[in-house]
Structure 1
Amino acid sequence: MDVRFCARYRGDGNPPSNRFCRSCPARGEACDLLWEQVVTLSRSNGGKPVLLPPTRAVMLPHPKNPDFVRLRINCEWTLPVEDFLHFIATGHAGMGRKGRRQDPSASPSMTRQEPYVQAIVEALGGWEIPEIVKVKHVQRGR
């Protein structure tokens, strides 16, 4: 994980600081609005899975925790808010390896979230939507 992905991030990338986005005091400035769009998208098909073309994945809401959405192909896994926000800042959300937590291309959860996060960005309207632009602005510390 690139620990410089956000000017407000505090931590070294190791648990529990890799989950800092969930408790960030500045989260309401922009990140909550973008993440709420992701959660809304996951709920947008009347309880049925939302397709994420061009991937084979589908997205579903998490039944208990709004800091996650679920993704599924053959198996189901979660996309945490910090993995998505890390991707917005860096363009990376790849698999991490034990002992290499500082790999800047790895997601904070160390799970591979690409190409699914790219498909979510496109489903939301692309990189130029106001919510993504604002999050990137906040992440840069402006």
Structure 2
Amino acid sequence: MQGIAAVLAGLMLMVLSAGASTPPIDYEKVRMAGVQRMMGHWVRYIMLSGASDCITVQIFKSANMEGLVRQKKICSLGKMSFRDDFAFVDVRKIGFEPDRLSLEIEFFSLRGSGDEVKECSIEIGNGSIGDLKCSLEFGSEYY
């Protein structure tokens, strides 16, 4: 089922990316993607299969994904890198809200204190992309 979703997301990205002024995307590696109009711009998120669950968020002026306003690759929570500071990070879902992306993410600690599933968000402003925000506690650290 996840393979079919990745293929459909890849096809959607190919159609919407025709002529885009963004770096090329390896559509065979798309694991999760979505696009929606927010605050007068088009916001797209892309996640590729691979070693880390980085989230690329892009803001475009038009629906055909031209006129890139801003792009941000998010691979960390605060100062904690998904790749180096967690045993595993799994983005389970991403949804669009009026002024943010809402995410459900599962974090596995390197320190053996287990896993936590958290509701997180990335603020989307008028042409701006915020950082990933979650209330995550492993030991005495909050992010």
TM-score calculated relative to the size of structure 2: 0.31
Give the structure with the larger strand fraction: 2
Larger Rg: 2
Give the structure with the larger helix fraction: 1
User: Could you say which structure has the greater relative contact order, defined with CA pairs below 8 angstroms and 6 or more residues apart?
Assistant: 1
